[in-house]
Structure 1
């Protein structure tokens, strides 16, 4: 039992053996009294404080009862609360709880101070939370037989500490006036006007994709989906690399870099780095992995590695993690490295606390969208697709192909499918003895060779449609499609 628990269970030990736990009973009493005198005070504090924030358990129960009564559209007074506490144990000085409620209302000095009382109570509750976190961490660290590693203990503590910090950040007003909202909107419009139509978000590094998406927008959850071997990891890696290597000028004319966080849950950090080296040196991944290099190529790889080694791309390749662990680590990346983009490859490899898989996927996508808003950065999450598209004659993916949960489509601001017709044509090769079919197959392969599509199936801020792209399988590299080879645009 920690020190705080001892005091709560037996207040008599507080003065004798333990330091004074942060609390202010007078503020708690004044807050409840103010609400009982004028229920409008509840509106000022309901989003600041919760029943568990009260040090005195009875005060917390009274506040919870007041909340229920007011939410039901009734007036909370000592009289309306009385039936809830008729059978309650008397308080320490012998008064009944009903008598105590009347005393709190009579002694209320000012209703206008209710918000200040609530902030005081909440701040002290947060201080008690910090004490508990510290004591729990110390107690766990004292137990070497515990299954939790030191790194796990730090991660758990970080998550709890961030929860306290998040509460502190929500002390301000929860609502925004239209005047304030419209002023912010006007500022964005004028900034866009000054850019002369240039994209507002982070550039993906692909001109046509940027035109369609307007860049990657802050707080957006972007789902990048495709069947296996379509190249979704390659496209995500290319985008992450382009963002990390690029520079942008903010509205104040200051040139900035954009660090990127990359959760590679399937590939190791070395495999990811090898892909990028292949793309940058234009040496095939197979040649790099097998060491089939000429001396000049070895020198080129060494030079390129030194040149790009300082690129602010931060990779976490630990697999088998939960959405809670990912959120904790992403917060750490934001705090330490100031990441401006987060990429997760891929969301089906994450787990949640729900037993049923559809509910678990819903928890994961909800968590990723909340993370994008919290960190105020775009989050790209890769997703597998069901086999449904392969059963259709037109195998181009659709929103209904998103695997396992409709929450993926619901929570996403943008859904982009990666599609390469070449992959399917290649697997339809006829027998060599059928010359007519083989000739037709060769023509189809030539037309589709090296071409890909980014199919925008959902776009909360703009149009959907198809963006033609080029794909080099040897280098796992996407690029803009040359003008002379453009495919006709088709809208979904």
Structure 2
């Protein structure tokens, strides 16, 4: 009952949840809640705002539990935990339906295969995930004879990496891992702004760094401003840089990057925020960035880090598939890297590597030899693609300026001379 109130209350606050939830009237237990949800769906389908007033004026208030009952529902609203409450609702619904199926099966002496089929149908309450080979083959029957548009993923802004991965693909989980000071955050911002310039919607969950700090990093890398000068642009930027400032601001405004910088966010909270962003930006497909993996708060209260990380990576992969968009997550590497002569990362250097290796579609390691040699003239950044579920693996070389955070791939004349 409380879960149903929380779901309805959240829908009153954020109307898009009425359809995004995928719930059916029959999945509510309480008769009054069924009436309220049915009324919500009807109002929303007509393009009307669904709130306290419209519900009461368009219906008999007593059918919906009365004015006070509707008003009190909003006090149960927890937008960030909406998916959790929906899950609790569906658990109750499945248990109820299971008993109904078994009762009818006993009364009518069903065959075992029919019982199994009915119970399995309860696992997925949404659209069917079934496809026959015949249906799938129809889609590609004429593929060799008709030129078709190739679905490109979200651009990385690095031509060689795009060639290797075809961009970050919808529904895939990518892990970008490195030791500290290798440029993880700068790579993330580079990927985000290039995705935004290609009309994607970059959504950054920064669990460690503030949104204003990321903004300043974006300004520095886009305008080629030294980060030390960004501490006080008025005093430290020269006249040439100041004249370039408005253009840099204008370029970044076109990326439409969205930031969420509260620490200890769960995957469920992230999903709610992504869903809202999708609703508010229907013309842009999202690309989700998370900085970084082990800072994601887990609902699992056990002390076993491996189990917690395993559940988080599975949830991230599920989020990528649910929203049909790329999810790119930064990750730290263990200190084992520092004990070897060749300090280029290996799969085994990933903390809790087993679950990450299993769930990630792409794993990219970052390596800068200059970090160890202290050679300030060496701007080489290696992006080592160690896992690529649907493509080749290998190393892509880019230029990285640690003073500005700028990342430049090879391919153009400017790129070739960037080092």
**TM-score, normalising length: structure 1:** 0.60
With a CA cutoff of 8 Å and minimum separation of 6, indicate the structure with the bigger relative contact order: 2
Instruction: Indicate whether 1:285 and 2:233 are aligned.
Output: no
Tell me how far apart the structure 2 counterparts of residues 328 and 403 of structure 1 sit (CA, whole Å): 27
Tell me how far apart the structure 2 counterparts of residues 381 and 264 of structure 1 sit (CA, whole Å): 10
CA spacing shift, 1:178–1:346, aligned 2, 3 Å: same
Aligned pairs, how many? 331
The corresponding residue for 2:267 is 323
* Residues 176-229 of structure 1, C-alpha deviations (whole Å, 9 max, x = no match): 0012223345688888x545xx77222211100011112111100000110000
Instruction: Indicate whether 1:273 and 2:219 are aligned.
Output: no
Instruction: Indicate whether 1:467 and 2:411 are aligned.
Output: no
Instruction: Indicate whether 1:154 and 2:86 are aligned.
Output: no
- Compare CA radii of gyration and give the structure with the larger one: 1
> Does the 8 A contact of 2:197 with 2:254 survive in 1?
no
The corresponding residue for 1:210 is 162
Tell me how far apart the structure 1 counterparts of residues 171 and 159 of structure 2 sit (CA, whole Å): 22
* Cα-Cα RMSD: 3.6
The corresponding residue for 1:174 is 129
Determine which of 27, 32, 42 is the counterpart of 1:125: 27
Tell me how far apart the structure 1 counterparts of residues 286 and 276 of structure 2 sit (CA, whole Å): 13
Once the two structures are superposed, the pairs formed by residues 279-318 of structure 1 within 5 Å of their partners are: 279-291=221-233, 292-318=236-262
* Residues 289-338 of structure 1, C-alpha deviations (whole Å, 9 max, x = no match): 23311244234223421443242211111112122212222222223224
CA spacing shift, 1:175–1:141, aligned 2, 3 Å: closer
CA spacing shift, 1:245–1:127, aligned 2, 3 Å: farther
The corresponding residue for 1:12 is none
Deviates more, 1:200-209 or 1:182-191: 182-191
The corresponding residue for 1:378 is 326
Tell me how far apart the structure 2 counterparts of residues 212 and 239 of structure 1 sit (CA, whole Å): 15
Tell me how far apart the structure 2 counterparts of residues 402 and 190 of structure 1 sit (CA, whole Å): 45
Gaps of 5+ in 2: 6-22, 38-64, 91-121
Determine which of 395, 406, 411 is the counterpart of 2:343: 395
CA spacing shift, 1:158–1:398, aligned 2, 3 Å: closer
CA spacing shift, 1:187–1:154, aligned 2, 3 Å: farther
> Does the 8 A contact of 1:137 with 1:157 survive in 2?
no
The corresponding residue for 2:280 is 336
CA spacing shift, 1:333–1:424, aligned 2, 3 Å: same
SS at the partner of 2:246?
helix
Deviation of the 1:139 alpha carbon: 5.1
The corresponding residue for 1:74 is none
CA spacing shift, 1:422–1:334, aligned 2, 3 Å: same
> Does the 8 A contact of 1:324 with 1:352 survive in 2?
no
Tell me how far apart the structure 1 counterparts of residues 131 and 166 of structure 2 sit (CA, whole Å): 26
Tell me how far apart the structure 2 counterparts of residues 163 and 260 of structure 1 sit (CA, whole Å): 30
